[in-house]
């Protein structure tokens, strides 16, 4: 008999964990990849989702997003609209008078003007309406471009390490009428206005 050999503990000395085990818990063995895959397949097969149900769920999600965009509370907006850079950009655009916001008014005036000019067959009037409309559209594009550059400069001044692109975002918002903008304009703090220097 080897005196250095340790004696195995008696069965009574072995600690037994009598706590109930739960599937997938720490007290249960980790399921194999194939078993987990089969379990997910059974779960999907047990709850088939029809095309009608998917369409209804999609409509519900779209409606919820649309309602969230109508809120003036930043915390209720969709996640992709809560970026501080985008909030600051929206505030700057909403506190500025933008020529781009009159695009729909100019389009209506142009349509009415060309219709009237065509009915009376006045070429001079029709040409004048055309050139005035083109000039105004060009002025709106230039104004939106300059505004977008200014917004980008202000955003990068406040958020030096930002990777969010705001030029296109600011231009798109400027070309919308204020009542149609989403997210809707909120009550803008003084620090987010054009008159406030950072």
Residue 72's CB: how many other CB atoms inside 10 A? 11
pTM: 0.62
* pLDDT for the residue numbered 88: 92
Per-residue pLDDT tens digits for 85-111: 999 999 999 888 888 888 888 888 878
Mean of the per-residue pLDDT values of the chain:
77
Q: Are 106 and 118 in contact, with CB atoms under 8 Å apart?
A: no
Q: Helix 167-174 vs helix 84-94: angle between axes, to the nearest 10 degrees?
A: 40
Query: How far apart, in whole angstroms, are the C-alpha atoms of residue 165 and residue 106?
Result: 29
Q: What is the DSSP string of 73-136?
A: -GGGS-GGG--HHHHHHHHHHHTS--GGGGHHHHHHHHHHHHHHHHHHT-HHHHHHHHHHHHHH
Task: Render pLDDT for 138-193 as a digit per residue (tens, 0 to 9).
Answer: 999 999 999 999 999 999 999 998 888 899 999 999 888 888 888 888 888 888 88
Joined tokens for residue 157: 């001044």
Q: Above 50 in pLDDT, residue 14?
A: no
Q: Where are the domains of the chain?
A: 75-181
């Amino acid at each position: 008999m080897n005196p250095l050999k340790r004696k195995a503990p008696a069965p009574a000395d072995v600690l037994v964990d009598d706590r109930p085990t739960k599937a997938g818990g720490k007290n249960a063995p980790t399921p194999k990849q194939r078993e987990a895959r089969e379990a997910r397949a059974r779960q999907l097969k047990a709850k088939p989702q029809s095309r009608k149900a998917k369409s209804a769920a999609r409509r519900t999600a779209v409606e919820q997003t649309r309602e969230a965009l109508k809120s003036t509370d930043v915390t209720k907006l969709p996640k992709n609209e809560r970026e501080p850079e985008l909030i600051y950009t929206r505030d700057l655009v909403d506190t500025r008078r933008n020529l781009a916001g009159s695009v729909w008014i100019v389009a209506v005036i142009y349509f009415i003007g060309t219709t009237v000019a065509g009915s009376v067959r006045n070429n001079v009037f029709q040409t004048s309406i055309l050139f005035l409309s083109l000039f105004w559209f060009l002025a709106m594009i230039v104004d939106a471009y300059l505004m977008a550059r200014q917004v980008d400069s202000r955003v990068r001044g406040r958020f030096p390490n930002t990777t969010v692109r705001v030029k296109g975002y600011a231009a798109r918002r400027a070309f919308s009428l204020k009542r149609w903008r989403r997210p809707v304009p909120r009550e803008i703090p003084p620090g987010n206005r054009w008159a406030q220097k950072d």
